[in-house]
A and B are shown apart, each in its own frame.
Chain A
Amino acid sequence: DIQMTQSPSLLSASVGDRVTINCKASQNINKYLNWYQQKLGEAPKLLIYNTNNLQTGIPSRFSGSGSGTDYTLTISSLQPEDFGTYFCFQHNSWPGTFGGGTKLELK
């Protein structure tokens, strides 16, 4: 199985900050990398699919980049509603695997 190593696991930031979250795959995943946001007690929400495609309805302050084994989610200017936990997910190979999550909290 492909291992997804996500960092950092905890991120403290303020409204207006630019934040980045990273995911490293144990092998090339050919840009088949999605990013999700999850708030407590809710289902994950798809933000970015296939590395850099913004899901419909997601604000443009979210962006994704990367290739090969290294991928990044960037939030350009953090808003109060952005706090929660973020997961990456690779769907290049079966079985799909998630990163361990990044909890984004208010500093």
Chain B
Amino acid sequence: QIQLVQSGPELKKPGESVKISCKASGYTFTDYAMHWVKQAPGKGLKWMGWINTYTGKPTYADDFKGRFVFSLEASASTANLQISNLKNEDTATYFCARDYSGDYWGQGVMVTVSS
């Protein structure tokens, strides 16, 4: 069956970096783009952008340009999200989701940024 399994929770200090992974199984990884979605505590969902899993080309929503990097380990059917120079407002759960339709989602990774 189709699954997206994300890495575990992270606790970081402001200014540090974090890398979150999303491992896909049950389908051909390069057939579907991988999207990323942010959910701050108690808040709604915000679409961050996506990566073309065939070409590796990322596309970022305006609020996520600069410190956010989408990447792939295609041989491992894995998409990654790296956030650098972490800020308190990056505290959130980050989800990967297959395709723009979001038909399958990872379980989410809670990233806590605190001094």
A residues with a Cβ closer than 8 A to B are 34, 36, 42-46, 49-50, 55, 87, 89, 91, 94-101
Contact = CB atoms under 8 A, between A and B. Distances in A.
Nearest to A49: B101
Interface residues of B, number: 19
A46 B4 CA distance: 14
Contacts of A46: 101-104
B24 to A, nearest CB: 14
Contacts of A97: 47
Contact of B44 (A50, A55, A101): A101
Given A95-B61, A95-B62, A44 B102 contact: yes
Nearest to A41: B108
A102 B47 CA distance: 18
A91 B44 contact: no
Q: Enumerate the 8 nearest inter-chain pairs by beta-carbon distance, A residue then B residue, closest first.
A: A43-B105, A95-B61, A96-B47, A98-B45, A91-B100, A101-B44, A49-B101, A46-B103
Contacts of A100: 44
Contacts of A87: 44-45
Contact of B101 (A43, A91, A94): A91
Interface string B88-112: 0000000101001111111110000
B45 A43 contact: no
Contacts of A45: 105
